[in-house]
Structure 1
């Protein structure tokens, strides 16, 4: 009995009409990116809910962690820039929501308003970190993929630049 040769790699895509011969691997990457993004957002929501903040959106969670980063006050424009978010109004809405929840406060300096986490915001960030360590970091540590994750992260940041440039090109058509 002979075994027909199995392909070494079978691409999985979500939109076959985008997966031309030249774009098959890109389509496969974009599908995987979509799956990772959706799983990451589900994870953030679960971790936040376990930290007793079930009403936060994924963007809210990213924003509060960024505002806690290095414990330095930041302007809304800074947060939007760091998170690569074009629509500053979404970040502004998120910050207002976090202020109402008591996780973030503001202070004025000249014409600028800076935001920083409150004690309750710090407690949330640290609780989130502890849950992340327990549920995710330990499991990933057993897989010995730290170096690979760093390489993937570098590649993804590089690809974000290509997508940004392609966005500009598409808008100029």
Structure 2
């Protein structure tokens, strides 16, 4: 009998299969949380890899998952987004890297910059950017519908997962790198 945590993973040859993670960690207090953290890492890596491959297939343009995330974020809702908004929504603090990504998106003809100064700059999508964002959203929706035909039946589970993940984002976002909350005295 195999014991341990079963998880899905993509191997170097791009095949996806189940694996078993059976180490002493699965018998320690808090292992469920650690397993969740590892699952989040796998989801993140798989998601950005899927975004990059899908975007390149649809557009012929090679972008990173982080750049595509910014493109899609700018396209959500109405109006344009500031760097500060994008950093806050994505929980990023690497403003120079965000700026570099935005320049790369602009040079690909996908975004445009509005305003000037430190706080008056915002970004919106060009016509090509809007088309690519819509194509990416459609591809994502198709993928999710294939995997979860009754996604609406999972809404409660997804809401609960979102609450836990947002709490963890808050905990990790409030640390000073030493494992202690930077809000502690």
TM-score by length of 2: 0.76
| Root-mean-square deviation (Å) | 2.8
Q: Does 1:158 align with 2:152?
A: no
How many residues get paired? 166
Instruction: Give yes or no for contact 1:71–1:116 (8 Å, CA) kept in 2.
Output: no
Q: What is the SS of the residue equivalent to 2:63?
A: coil
Match of 1:136 among 136, 141, 144: 144
C-alpha distance in 1 between matches for 2:179 and 2:21: 22
What residue number does 1:106 align with? 113
CA displacement 1:127-168 (0-9 Å, x = unmatched): 111112222234323464333122212221111111123445
| Runs of 5+ consecutive residues of structure 2 not aligned to the other structure | 7-19
Counterpart residue number, 1:146: 155
Aligned to 2:94: 87
**Greater fraction of residues in helix:** 1
Check whether the contact 2:4–2:23 (CA below 8 A) recurs between aligned residues: no
* 3-state SS of 1:141 partner: coil
Query: What per-residue deviation string (whole Å, max 9, x for no partner) do you get for residues 14-52 of structure 1?
Result: 695766722322221222112111111122123212321
CA contact (8 A) 2:74 2:124 kept: yes
Q: Note if contact 2:5-2:21 (Cα within 8 Å) is conserved in structure 1.
A: no
| Greater mean alpha carbon deviation, residues 39-48 or residues 100-109 | 39-48
Greater RCO, CA 8 A, separation 6+: 1
Q: Give the TM-score, by structure 1 length.
A: 0.80
CA gap 1:110/1:97 in 2 versus in 1, 3 angstroms: closer
- What's the offset of the Cα at 1:109? 5.4
